[in-house]
Amino acid sequence: MAIRVLIVDDSALMRSFIGEVLAADRGMEVVGVASDPFSARQKIKLLNPDVITLDVEMPGMDGLTFLEHLMRLRPMPVVMVSTATSQGSATTLRALEIGAVDFVAKPSVALETGWPDFSAELIAKVKTAASAFVPYHVPATTSLKMPDDLERPGKIIALGGSTGSVAVFQHIIAAMPADGPAILIAVHMPAQFTKQFAARLNGLCAMDVVEAVDNMPVVTGRAIVAPGDRHLTIKRLASGYICKLESGPRVNGHVPSVNVLFDSVASAAGSDAIGIILTGMGRDGAIGLRAMRDAGALTACQDEATSLIYGMPSAAVAEDAVSIQLPISDIPSFILNNLGTSRVASMRSGT
């Protein structure tokens, strides 16, 4: 049965273009278009779409305000269509926290080079959204403390996620104390969005959250986000670990790749690490998490009941890469309760 889509965008050109893109796919049916949230509200009642594509910036009522109303009164899958500007990406990240399933960034390059990729991504993400678990509930974050009997948080924490993971990352990192363990994050986002993602987390969390740069020390009290156009790996030195950024082909369809990060952590840190795969579409990270488990690391994934999309966790389970499946609410305490000590002297933040 075709996925019924409602397009909400104040630009007549974008409404027409998105409509043509989606209607060309046999699995889609564009049931209507709306130029503003007020007409969109009426058409949702009348047409009962399966998925909405929603512009971020619109007159009368902005996309965020409309999305908040929608998620409170009639939750349904929403794919945001955003500009890849600093303001646009920050707004889009907020939309993902509110409840949007995913986003597609409008390209800033010429029509003939940028829009075909946009079209393919839009089709894929609308199809994913149609199968998402909505409404998606992320519990309120509770700030935690380091275990009293722990001398130092010696283990490195490697986290990977995709669709639905923005709010989950926020829940996990915001629960960590300022002196929490070193955390490495690979999430499927374009470059401008990872920069904003790190900045937003940094403003909400006790830990220092930064986008990775080459040779940055991996230290306690710091969470490091892979840039959206580079693979994040780590290198082990006598004094501790440092980040290494790599250009290169997409792995499992992605740069940064969760698999690349996990493979690197398995090789460099071995049993001095914890790896966790969060909600997301596809298989990225499954083989890398298995490498971490084989190297002696403790591994986990977000459980099906609390995943917006259970694809990446399910693939990791099928790969026999997962020691335990956890609901969102249990992940922060799981991390802190399993830190132990490290064979490599941990470095303190600020070095």
Active centre residues (catalytic): 162, 188, 284
Nearest CA among 341, 121, 154, 139 for reference residue 241:
154
CA dist., res. 180 & res. 192, Å (int): 27
Name the CA dihedral angle for 329, 332, 338, 344, rounded to a multiple of 10 degrees. 160
Sequence-ordered alpha helix ranges (H) in the chain: 12-23, 37-47, 63-73, 86-98, 111-130, 165-175, 191-204, 258-269, 286-294, 311-318, 331-337
CA distance 288 to 272: 15
For residue 275, give both structure tokens.
Answer: 């790896």
- Please give the sequence-ordered ranges of beta strands (E in DSSP) within 131-213, or none if there are none: 156-161, 183-187, 208-211
Read off the DSSP letter of residue 306: G
Q: Strand, helix or coil at 106?
A: strand
